[in-house]
């Protein structure tokens, strides 16, 4: 009699799912994203197979293409690693964009004005240290207010992005401008450029080292333990005698410092100069990378690689099949939605109407 | 007279520049009041901007010389709303039904929406031979006041009350009715209950999922109208790459600035509009333009700090903002 009041589908929390099934669901979501992307290509009147083939060959087909893809992946991975401890702590740092830029500004200062005073390797080291310090301090400002008065960190860190980007615009057209009226900061001296290893600036070695460091830091150190306790429950952490404010500030400084190093690598290794688009949205995309990897540093390597392939491949798609370049953002978005959504099927199970017995037996 | 030469143009320009923010903010307030922190406003505004401009553009190329300005405005409003609502619907499905993290999904929507908006814009530009813009006659309907000239000619009060483009009046009406809806209607009460404590609302028989969906989708549509208003009244009805950069994020900040109250958004958006154009109107010695332009962001930061300092009870976000609701979880 109450049959019509039972919803057609009900939800229940699942206990831990076997690992194989989890990966099965993730693979399915990947396939779903591919199919949705294919639908978009069909709407545009392009052959989806050809389009995907172009993306893959454009990103991985030639050694030069692979190098460019790696160059896209480096800042993405580095920033995702930087964000991971903050998110583990449930501190929503969406200011990596600004922290990258702050690091790039500090590194550029030394590249531009200390070039003659310092010998080559030392200059690079000083640039890296300055980048880390500046990124860290830029992140420390919102962390301080969060720790002291609970100021909303999501918007604080976001606003800090626009502030530092505005500062770069001012530097570009003002004090650091190269040729008057050009609005461009001059190229760095060769001494201030990161050396290349295997054809790509050596940033890739740095981020891979950082990957291992972050894995160990989050999993096997006291700091990492404190971060995860605070993320689970701030009250528990306080009860256990942890100084929550100090951990927040320390973690944010570390996070900002890594972002700052990414800024240094991009300015010195990839662009050889500083401009207002130095972060180029990496700070935002990296958040999704970190989250999709479930804050596991090694998984981030794969996911940042995947997004880099998409972005580089979409560039090729743009030139070869005259599809607007913004298709990469659309496809990236679709992948993110699918992969975010699929966690639901891992954590919950659906119960269809009229199948109670089966469920109670299970 | 000082008022008419200096202050009045500043106020007028501030109102024009604040209107896109007003739409963005009012829409996001509706969404956040139902407990959904949608960080994808920037993306939805892009989608709305591209769809709204596209609607006016294709309507004109179809109707030719017989194109009607009022119809163009209505179509632009409708399609920008639909564009944003579509984006918000994806967000709603992923966060409400699939219960994914709202922060991350919102960011994904920001990426997706910016891409989709740029894509539609570029696609229109390529298919129409390199330039998407509407005719001058049609532009007047978007940019000029709908009131007759004699009303606008009243000194000071004329321009202040009757001198704005039509979207200013729509925006004000929207903010006022949103405030009435949230605070004076039964549905508004239920919606706020869903945002404060979905479990309580659920126990009282309110359909939490339906309220969350409707609030987020309609809110997203309203936010997206702001993107269209920006393109048609400030950016000269031309699709360009960097047109919107930052408007949507400012709207998210403005929601906090307004303490989740649509009526505060009225003056808040004008204030932010003024901060955005102040560098053009009021030169300060020793402060370069580019540094002047970061003023709105600095002010937002200061406001954030100040509101956290006086943490009074009625100035807080909805209690369950950002949390997914699952009935069996307590």
Q: Cβ A174–B290 below 8 Å, yes or no?
A: yes
Nearest CA of chain A to the CA of B110: how many Å? 9
E-strand ranges in B70-202 read: none
* pTM for the model: 0.87
Q: Cβ B94–A337 below 8 Å, yes or no?
A: yes
B311 touches chain A (CB under 8 A): yes
Nearest by CB: A333 against B98, B112, B298: B112
| Rounded Cα gap, residues A301 and A80, in angstroms | 9
| Rounded Cα gap, residues B224 and B231, in angstroms | 11
B293: in domain: yes
- Return phi, psi of residue B156, to 5°: 55, -65
Q: Cβ A159–B109 below 8 Å, yes or no?
A: no
Cβ-contact A164, B297 below 8 angstroms: no
| Rounded Cα gap, residues B30 and B218, in angstroms | 8
Query: How many domains is chain B partitioned into structurally?
Result: 1
Minimal Cα distance from A335: which residue of B?
B108
Token pair for B62 = 């179809």
Say how many CA atoms lie within 13 Å of A222 toward its Cβ. Answer: 3
Minimal Cα distance from B113: which residue of A?
A330
Chain A residues with CB under 8 Å of B297 CB are 159, 162-163, 166
Q: Residue written as tokens 């892009």?
A: B46
| Tens digits of residue pLDDT in B279-318 | 777 766 677 777 777 888 888 888 888 877 876 666 777 8
pLDDT in tens, chain A (362 residues): 445 566 677 777 777 777 788 888 888 888 998 899 888 888 888 888 888 888 888 888 888 888 888 988 999 999 999 999 999 988 888 899 999 999 999 999 988 888 787 787 888 899 999 999 999 999 999 999 998 888 888 888 988 998 998 899 888 887 888 777 777 888 888 877 877 777 777 888 888 999 999 999 989 999 999 998 988 888 888 888 888 899 999 999 999 999 999 999 999 888 888 888 888 888 888 988 888 888 899 999 999 998 899 888 888 888 887 778 788 888 888 888 888 888 888 888 877 776 554 444 44
B322: in domain: no
Residue among A127, A135, A190 nearest A160 (CA): A135
B326: in domain: no
Chain A residues with CB under 8 Å of B308 CB are 145, 149-152
Chain B residues with CB under 8 Å of A341 CB are 93-94, 98, 100
* B290 Cβ contact list (under 8 Å, min separation 6): A166, A167, A169, A170, A173, A174
Q: Cβ A145–B305 below 8 Å, yes or no?
A: yes
Q: Which of residues 73-112 of B touch A (CB under 8 A)?
A: 90, 93-94, 97-101, 103-105, 107-112
Nearest CA of chain A to the CA of B287: how many Å? 10
Nearest by CB: A170 against B99, B116, B288: B288
A51-58's contacts with Cβ under 8 Å and 24+ in sequence apart are A51/A317, A51/A321, A51/A323, A54/A313, A54/A316, A54/A317, A54/A320, A54/A321, A55/A309, A55/A310, A55/A313, A55/A314, A55/A316, A55/A317, A56/A309, A56/A313, A57/A313, A57/A316, A58/A312, A58/A313, A58/A315, A58/A316, A58/A317, A58/A320
Chain B residues with CB under 8 Å of A154 CB are 39, 103
Residue among B125, B66, B139, B109 nearest B252 (CA): B109
Q: What is the CATH number of the domain that holds B232?
A: 1.10.3470
| Tens digits of residue pLDDT in B183-223 | 999 999 999 999 999 999 999 999 999 999 999 999 999 99
B114 touches chain A (CB under 8 A): yes
Residue among B51, B24, B54, B18 nearest B220 (CA): B24
B305 touches chain A (CB under 8 A): yes
B40 touches chain A (CB under 8 A): no
| Rounded Cα gap, residues A197 and A215, in angstroms | 24
Chain B residues with CB under 8 Å of A284 CB are 107, 110-111
| Rounded Cα gap, residues B281 and A325, in angstroms | 37
ipTM for the predicted complex comes to 0.84
Chain A residues with CB under 8 Å of B309 CB are 149
Structural domain boundaries, residue B32: 2-315
Q: Domain spans of chain A?
A: 74-151+185-300
B284 touches chain A (CB under 8 A): no
Chain B residues with CB under 8 Å of A319 CB are none
Residue B36: helix, strand or coil by DSSP? coil
Cβ-contact A68, A199 below 8 angstroms: no
**Cα Rg for chain B, rounded, in angstroms?**
20
Residue among B243, B245, B234, B225 nearest B55 (CA): B225
């Amino acid at each position: 009699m109450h049959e019509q009041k039972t919803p057609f589908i009900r939800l229940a929390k699942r206990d831990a799912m076997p690992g194989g099934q989890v990966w099965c669901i993730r693979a399915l979501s990947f396939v779903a994203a591919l199919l949705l992307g294919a639908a978009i290509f069909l709407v545009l009147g392009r052959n989806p197979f050809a389009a995907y083939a172009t993306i893959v060959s454009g990103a991985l087909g030639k050694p030069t293409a692979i190098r460019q893809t790696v160059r896209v992946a480096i800042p993405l991975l580095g920033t995702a690693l930087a964000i991971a401890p903050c998110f583990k702590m449930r501190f929503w740092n969406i200011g990596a964009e600004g922290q990258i830029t702050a690091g790039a500004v500090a590194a550029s200062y030394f590249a531009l004005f200390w070039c003659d005073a310092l010998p080559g390797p030392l200059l690079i080291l000083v640039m890296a240290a300055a980048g880390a310090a500046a990124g860290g301090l830029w992140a420390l400002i919102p962390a301080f207010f969060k720790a002291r008065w609970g100021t909303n960190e999501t918007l604080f860190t976001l606003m800090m992005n626009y502030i530092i980007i505005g500062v770069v615009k001012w530097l570009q057209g003002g004090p650091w401008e190269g040729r008057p009226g050009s609005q461009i900061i001059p190229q760095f001296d060769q001494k201030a450029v990161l050396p290349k290893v295997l054809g790509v600036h050596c940033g890739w070695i740095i981020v891979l080292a950082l990957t291992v460091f972050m894995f160990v830091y989050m999993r096997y150190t006291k700091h990492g333990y404190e971060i995860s306790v605070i993320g689970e429950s701030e009250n528990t952490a306080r009860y256990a005698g942890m100084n929550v404010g100090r951990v927040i500030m320390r973690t944010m400084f570390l996070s900002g410092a890594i972002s700052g190093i990414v800024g240094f690598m991009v300015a010195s290794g990839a662009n050889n100069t500083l401009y207002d688009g130095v972060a180029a949205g990496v700070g935002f995309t990296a958040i999704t990378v970190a989250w999709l990897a479930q804050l596991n540093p090694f998984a981030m390597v794969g996911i940042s690689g995947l997004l880099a392939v998409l972005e580089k491949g979409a560039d090729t798609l743009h030139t070869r099949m005259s599809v607007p370049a913004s298709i990469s953002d659309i496809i990236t978005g679709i992948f993110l939605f699918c992969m975010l959504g699929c966690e639901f099927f891992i954590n919950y199970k659906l119960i269809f109407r009229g199948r109670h017995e089966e469920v109670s037996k299970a | 007279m000082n008022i008419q030469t200096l202050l009045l143009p500043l106020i007028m320009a501030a109102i024009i520049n604040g209107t896109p923010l007003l739409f963005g903010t009012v829409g996001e307030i509706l969404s956040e009041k139902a407990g959904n922190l949608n960080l994808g406003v920037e993306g939805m505004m892009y989608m709305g901007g591209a769809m709204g401009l596209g609607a006016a553009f294709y309507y004109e190329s179809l109707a030719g010389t017989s194109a009607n300005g009022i119809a163009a405005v209505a179509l632009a409003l409708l399609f920008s709303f639909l564009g944003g609502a579509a984006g918000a619907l994806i967000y709603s499905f992923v966060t409400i039904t699939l219960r994914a993290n709202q922060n991350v999904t919102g960011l994904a929507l920001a990426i997706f929406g910016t891409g989709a908006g740029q894509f539609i814009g570029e696609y229109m530009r390529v298919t129409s031979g390199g330039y998407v813009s509407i005719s001058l006659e049609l532009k007047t309907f978007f940019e000029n006041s709908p009131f007759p000239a004699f009303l606008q000619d009243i000194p000071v009060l004329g321009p202040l009350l009757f001198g704005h483009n039509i979207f200013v009046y729509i925006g004000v009406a929207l903010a006022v009715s949103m405030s009435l809806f949230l605070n004076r209607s039964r549905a508004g009460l239920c919606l706020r209950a869903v945002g404060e404590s979905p479990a309580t609302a659920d126990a009282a028989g309110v359909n939490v999922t339906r309220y969350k969906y409707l609030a987020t989708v309609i809110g997203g549509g309203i936010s997206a109208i702001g993107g269209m208003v920006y393109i048609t009244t400030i950016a000269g009805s031309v699709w360009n790459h960097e047109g919107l950069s930052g408007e949507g994020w400012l709207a998210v900040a403005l929601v906090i600035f307004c303490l989740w109250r649509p009526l505060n958004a009225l003056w808040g958006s004008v204030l932010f509009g003024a901060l955005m154009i102040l560098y053009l109107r009021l030169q300060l010695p020793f402060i370069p333009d580019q540094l002047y332009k970061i003023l709105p962001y600095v002010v937002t930061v200061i406001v954030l700090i100040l509101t956290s300092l006086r943490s009074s009870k009625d100035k807080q976000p909805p209690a369950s903002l950002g949390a997914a609701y699952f009935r069996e979880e307590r």
